[in-house]
A and B are shown apart, each in its own frame.
Chain A
Amino acid sequence: MTTTQPQTEAPTPPEPPRGRAPLTWRQRLGRWDVKLSPYLYISPFWIVFALVGLFPIVYTAVISFQDWDLVRNTGTFTGFDNFAFVLQDREFWLSLRNTFSIFLLSSVPQIIVATFIAAMLDKNIRAKTFWRMGVLLPYVVAPVAVALIFSNMFGDKYGLINSLLNDIGIDSIRWHVDVIPSHVAIATMVNFRWTGYNALILLAAMQAIPRDLYEAAAIDGAGTMRRFFSVTLPQIRPTMIFVIITSTIGGLQIFDEPRMYDTNGRGGSNHQWETITLYLYNMGWGEFNFGRAAAVAWILFLIIVAFGLLNFAITRRFIAGETAAQPKKPKQVTK
């Protein structure tokens, strides 16, 4: 269809443009082509999304109001009981706490370190491609393999880290018993995997910064630090926001790492590191209570939507702030 487009459009210019002569069949076809084609081309995504994304979301909503029997595919309507139960469940609030704690412990250092690594890779270093591919390597390793390696390091009794600590005279840290150490351990796994990935995205943004900005700044007498904070950071803001949003969504859905953190996969005897996705999984496949699991899924969905909106608001403010602050850039940027 697209190949006809140039042919149909080619004859139009010679005709008197304001004549409003009735369009020929080919012309009409051409017009539809121009109007409809883009939608047709993106339609496969939307059809697939409707099937595997939208339908499950709606179906989950239906299930969440029922006492659902997965096997028989039947349920009895129970209204908001499932939601009420989940919101009153101590385990839910603990897992929410854990999720946010692990999210903060992973995303914040991750983005700071990723920005730093990206800035270093942006410098004139030897064997650029080697270093750039190197930081992506952890991302290629399967999460399960990462969990295996790290669970060995974070063993309470025979772990590598605790033996090192003991060697320098520090008491063992109870990685699988105490709340914060377990979160740190899981956040380490997440960071190991995602820091390099985010660094590469930020690096791409940094490479797009016009070099003359740096030259101008250098001529004005700005040092390395000043150039980083006053040129690099403002220029990569949109990408930074993208990275923040994706790691927020990812961070709120952390599942593999806490599940693989011990052999039980239930988040600890006192729910020390049970995240909300793990809680959802345990509710469904552990307790076979799919109605409640669906309710958890929807609550998680709403939390992520709320977070997304918050991010969106911040994004808009950031971008508006950037354009408005254009004339007096340095002041705005250093905050």
Chain B
Amino acid sequence: MSLSRRKTTFGFAAGAATLAIALAGCGSSSEPESSDSAAAGGSMDEPVTLTLATFNQFGYSADSEGGADYAYDLIAEYEELHPNVTIVYNVADTSNTARENFFTKLGPGGLADVEAIEVDWLPEAMTYSDLLADLTNADLDGNWLDWKVDAATDADGRLIGYGTDIGPEAICYNVDLFEEAGLPTDPDEVAALFDGDWDTFFSVGQDYYDATGNAFYEENAAILQGMIGQLDAPYEDPETDEIIALDNADVKATYDTLTAASEAGLSSGLQQWGDDWAAGMANGDYAVTLCPAWFLGIIEGNAPDGNWDIANVFPNGGGNWGGSYLTVPANGENVEAATEFAAWLTAPEQQAKAFENVGAFPSSPEAAESDAVQSYVREYYNDAPAGQIFTERAAAVAVSPYKGAHYFEVNDAMVNALRRVDEGTMSADESWSQFEADVQAIG
């Protein structure tokens, strides 16, 4: 009964989406010669309608993304450069909506000419890489960081997505709490304090706990993200795609380290994104968080009166959390024109503009070197040079972990295992046994 309303809204949304696609389809099919001439490699002057689908805010056009004032409108710019191209731009409200839409239509068709995907579901998309156009283009070499390209390249060497933004991670800390605990407060000194591996991180946490008796970081699952992101093949064998999470000593070691830290009181146990977690950020329930570039706005939103700063450091060097790609479904009508459009949107100049629009940190090293990024400071974080910090953090990312088809199921089971220990519903050993059972049930 409670579902009925949901179904209706779903129906409306689906209907509207279908209509939009039908209209888009009409637009392009009314010029039947366009695809022919494109296929023949003829002039690109034939009128063509391209559809672009993203989610949240990619920083392309304020009109469609419902954003505040953007400095640039990339959609209008492209239409100006290519008078024959008309762009229909659809923006889904959440990544999850976009994900369901993407996988529902990937096989039968009906997706936009250019579809954005998030790294969270990139592994699933990679298992269907044959349904996405190969975007490999030697001319574009060097447009993106190597690990960004590697993650979207399948076993056959086909590149299925052009990188948009990335989420290089630093450590954000609460200056007031650090001061109370007698720890250094200057960003450079804090960076020096954390310089090292995860053991260093946890030992600083232990010092903080000893001095204050309070939790050091938000929750184990949040730290897990950073630790697992530095393993080459945490949960699956890159050769066979078999789940190896239970045999991987590194995974068990990570689990043991985290649960030990939790038992020592370092984890506040407030689950990321929850109301308590957000309130805890303002109330000083934890002193540090691993923060990717896009996380800055979240801290500002949750703790508007807080005193947080960014330390240009990350355990073991670098880590990435989040980011997106633009893909071109292979069964689209305008694959060639769409590929050109996607390449243009993700070119260094446009990435720099998207950064200026919404702060999407560029995956292009060249864009990161631009003035817009390099001169970028964040007032809230005591005028921290955020642009420079995250450029360095991005360069420090060394590993792009292998993520197979079951990556997120296994990771989810691991997150649950850690949370059970944080909550105290199970001991570390019991929770690990449950994790083993959960992983064995996957497949």
Contact = CB atoms under 8 A, between A and B. Distances in A.
Contact of B107 (A70, A158, A194, A246): A70
Contacts of B285: 157
Contacts of B2: 143, 190, 193-194, 250, 253-257
Nearest to B416: A269
Contact of B270 (A91, A143, A151, A157): A157
Contact of A71 (B128, B416, B425, B441): B128
A282 to B, nearest CB: 9
Nearest to A90: B437
B375 interface: no
A45 interface: no
Interface stretch (A27-35, A218-226, A285-293): A285-293
B271 A262 contact: yes
B276 A264 contact: no
A247 B423 contact: no
A185 to B, nearest CB: 13
Q: Could you say which interface size class chain B belongs to?
A: 35 or more
B409 A286 contact: yes
A129 interface: no
Contact of B1 (A249, A262, A287): A249
A123 interface: no
A137 to B, nearest CB: 15
A151 B275 contact: yes
Interface in B262-281: 270-276, 279-280
Nearest to B125: A71
A174 B274 CA distance: 14
Nearest to A146: B2
A89 B437 CA distance: 10
B419 A269 contact: yes
Interface in A235-255: 246-247, 249-251, 253-255
A270 interface: yes
A12 interface: no
* Main SS class of interface, A: loop
Contact of A246 (B1, B271, B415, B425): B1
Contacts of A85: 441
A70 B103 contact: yes
Interface in B90-147: 99-100, 103-104, 106-108, 124, 128, 131
Given A71-B128, A89-B441, A249-B1, A270 B416 contact: yes
Interface in B1-27: 1-3, 5-6
Given A152-B275, A157-B279, A158-B279, A287 B3 contact: no
A286 B425 contact: no
A72 interface: yes
A142 B5 contact: yes
Interface residues of A, number: 44
Contacts of B409: 286-287
Nearest to A190: B2
A194 B2 CA distance: 9
B419 A155 contact: no
Interface in A255-297: 255-257, 262-264, 266, 269-270, 277, 285-288
Nearest to B7: A52
A191 to B, nearest CB: 11
Centre residue among B6, B273, B275, B426 by max chain A CB count within 10 A: B275
Contacts of A194: 1-2
Given A71-B131, A270-B420, A253 B3 contact: yes
B442 interface: yes
Interface in B236-286: 270-276, 279-280, 283, 285
A255 B6 contact: yes
Interface in A86-145: 89-91, 142-143
A190 B2 CA distance: 8
A73 interface: yes
A39 to B, nearest CB: 26
A61 interface: no
Contact of B124 (A91, A249, A288): A288
A17 B276 CA distance: 82
B269 to A, nearest CB: 9
B426 A270 contact: yes
4 tightest Cβ-Cβ pairs between the two chains A and B: A250-B1, A269-B419, A263-B273, A158-B279
25 contacts: A70-B103, A71-B131, A73-B108, A89-B441, A90-B437, A142-B5, A155-B275, A155-B279, A157-B279, A157-B280, A158-B276, A158-B279, A177-B424, A177-B425, A194-B1, A249-B1, A250-B3, A256-B3, A262-B274, A263-B271, A263-B273, A263-B274, A270-B425, A286-B412, A287-B442
Given A70-B107, A71-B107, 5 more contacts: A142-B5, A156-B276, A263-B273, A266-B416, A270-B434
